[in-house]
Amino acid sequence: MSAIIQCNDLSKSFGRKTALQQVSFELIPGETAALIGPNGAGKTTLFSILCGYLRPDSGKVQIFGHQPGSHSLFGKVAALPQDAQFDPAFGIGEQLDFYGRLQGLSRKAARAETTRVLALVDLSEHYAHKASALSHGMRKRAAIAQAFIGAPQLILLDEPTAGLDPANALHIRQLIGRLSGEVSFMISSHNIFELEQLCNKVLYLQLGQLSSQSNSDNGTAEQQYLTLQLEQDSSDGLIAALNQLTGLISLQQLQKKELVLCYNPAQNAQFDLAVLQCLAVNGWGYRNFIKGQTLEQKLFSV
């Protein structure tokens, strides 16, 4: 299967500061990738290189087999910078029409495309409204609409829900989830929960290096995980009861109300049911029961 993005030993420095150091990864069709890392890790630099805004000092990167910024990628790749803004003096529809024209669409086709993408973000009735008249959430949704113009095959989103209220953030997550079967996404965010909902591949950058790269698997045939989030703090009695379950390999208490159980499914194919029965018999309540580890656990647990 041909890779959408292929990065090999990508490096970039600004003076004495190394932003990226020998970063290698690939994104294949059907994957939605999470780009995670602390501030200054190199995420924005990587996005800028993928968009063709910056050139790497060394290494090789190809998108759909072409150099970033190549004319061959015109209309195939779209990006949303974190702080993307509309001109407050013009209607958002007029500005989206303009972006469509920049992509080579006719006036009529650009207007049709604007109508389509505004409908995607539930802003159909706001075509003529100036950006200054919209709420922050509406402006963010309009900016995301811009990234969908022309039906690109790869969309790079930098903090797509930053600063949004829960309702608007949910709407954006649902939109990305709905379109992920048609479009490949790479999403940068500090919201671990959000990325866990949307992504099936994780790229973790730290100090310019790709310190971990994984897909959203949660174990092997010999080792699976369950994450148990309790209503109350765990007790010695609960830990002792769970430790008696057939198939349990290890039990890790991450927090007072969160346990991760590693088990062998070959020894107990109904281990998850056994855990629930154990809780019910002893009257222990739980808030969440997750098959596998959370993304936060996989990245940061030791």
| pLDDT at residue 254 is higher than 80 | no
| pLDDT at residue 297 is higher than 60 | no
Q: What local confidence, expressed as pLDDT, does residue 45 receive?
A: 92
Amino acid letter for position 144: I
| pLDDT at residue 293 is higher than 80 | no
Mean pLDDT of 184-190: 86
* Kind plus residue range of the DSSP H or E element containing 254: strand 248-255
Higher pLDDT, 106 or 298: 106
pLDDT tens-digit readout, 109-127: 999 999 999 999 999 999 9
Q: What is the pTM of this model?
A: 0.72
Q: What local confidence, expressed as pLDDT, does residue 302 receive?
A: 44
> Please, what's the b/e burial string for 254-276 (b: 16 or more CB within 10 A of its CB; e: otherwise)?
beebbbbbbbbbeebeebbebbe
